[in-house]
Amino acid sequence: MSDQAAQLPILDHFVVLVSHHDLLRISQQLDGQFTLALGGNHADGLTTNRLVLFPDGCYLEFIAFFDDVDPERRRNHRWGNEKEGTVIDWAFTLPSESDFKLVQKRFQSADIDASYTDPIPGGRTKPDGTILEWAVCTPKDGNGKASSPGTMPFWCLDRTPRERRVPYELEPHLTQHPNGVQGVSSVHVQVPHEDTSNLKKVYDLIFDGPWKYKVLSGSTNCDHTVSLSGGEAAIKLVFHGSKPGKIELLPGLFFEIELS
Q: Could you tell me which of 89, 83, 90, 91 has the C-alpha nearest to residue 18?
A: 83
Max distance between CA atoms of the chain, in angstroms, equals 50
What span, in angstroms and rounded, lies between the C-alpha atoms of 224 and 210?
11
Please choose, from the candidates 177, 129, 152, 201, the residue with its C-alpha nearest in 3D space to the C-alpha of residue 9: 152
What pLDDT shows up at residue 220? 64
CA distance 110 to 94: 21
User: What pLDDT is recorded for position 219?
Assistant: 63
Asked if 235 and 187 touch (Cβ cutoff 8 Å), the reply is yes
Per-residue pLDDT of the chain (260 residues; tens, 9 = 90+): 333 444 789 999 999 999 999 999 999 999 999 999 999 999 899 999 999 999 999 999 999 999 999 999 999 999 999 999 999 999 999 999 999 999 999 999 998 999 999 999 999 998 899 999 999 999 999 889 999 999 999 999 999 999 999 999 999 999 999 999 999 999 999 999 999 999 999 999 999 999 999 999 976 678 899 999 999 999 999 999 999 999 999 999 999 999 98
pLDDT of 5: 42
Query: pTM to 2 decimals?
Result: 0.95
CA distances, 108 to each of 138, 142, 202 (Å): 15, 12, 12
Find out whether 199 and 191 touch, Cβ atoms under 8 Å: yes
DSSP 174: G
Give the three-state DSSP class for 3: helix
- In eight-state DSSP terms, residue 208 is T
Q: What is the DSSP letter of 144?
A: S
- pLDDT recorded at residue 4: 43
- How far is the C-alpha of 47 from the C-alpha of 95, rounded, in Å? 26
Domains in the chain, CATH or no CATH each: 3-259 (3.10.180.10)
